[in-house]
Amino acid sequence: MTKKKKSPLGLIAVYAILTFWALTTIYPIIWVLQNSFKAKDKILSNSFALPVGDLFTTANFRKAFETTDILGAYKNSLFISFMVAVLVVLLAGMGAYALARYKFPGSNLLNSLVVGAMMFPAFATVISVYQLEFRWGIASTGSWFFNMLSVILPQVAGNMAFAMVVLTGYIKGLPIELEEAAYMEGCNAFQIYFKVVMPLTKPSFATVAIFSFLWSYNDLFTQSFFLRRPDMYSITMMLNNISAKEGTDYGMMAAVVALIIVPVIVVYCCLQKQIIKGMIAGAVKG
Partner 1 sequence: MGANIYRNKKPALVFLFPAFLFMAVLLYYPFFKNILNSFMHLKQLGAAATKFNTPWYANYEEMLHDPHVWTSVKNTILMMLVTLVGQVGIAIVLALMVDNISRGKQFFRTVFFFPIVISATALGLMFNLIFLYDKGMVNQLLQALGKQKLTDWKAEGIALVTMMAPVMWQYVGFYFVILVTGLNNISDELYEAARIDGATTLQRVRYLSIPLLHNVICTCSILAVTGALKVFDLPWVMFPKGMPLKTTFLTGTYMYYQTMETKNVDYGAALAVLIVVLGVVLAKVVNAVFKEKDY
Q: Select the span of 20-28, 58-66, 78-86, 200-208 touching partner 1 (CB under 8 A).
A: 20-28
Of 74, 79, 144, 183, the one binding partner 1 (CB under 8 A) is 183
Which residues 225-244 are close enough to bind partner 1 by CB under 8 A?
A: 225, 235-236, 239-240, 242-244
Site stretch for partner 1 (CB under 8 A), options 44-52, 56-64, 68-76, 200-208: 44-52
Minimum distance of partner 1 from residue 59's CB (angstroms): 17
Site string for partner 1, 101-140 (x = CB under 8 A): xxxx-----x--xx--x-xxxxxxxxxxxxxx-xx---xx
User: What is the smallest separation between the CB atom of 58 and partner 1, expressed in angstroms?
Assistant: 18
39 contributes a contact to partner 1 by CB under 8 A: no
CB of 127 to partner 1, least distance (A): 5
**Rounded distance, CA 27 to CA 31, Å?**
6
Task: Choose which of 37, 193, 205, 213 interacts with partner 1 (CB under 8 A).
Answer: 193
Q: Is 11 in the site for partner 1 (CB under 8 A)?
A: yes
Please report how close the Cβ of residue 234 comes to partner 1 at its closest, in angstroms: 10
Check binding of 257 to partner 1 (CB under 8 A). Answer: yes
| Residues from 73 through 102 that contact partner 1 (CB under 8 A) | 91-92, 94-95, 97-99, 101-102
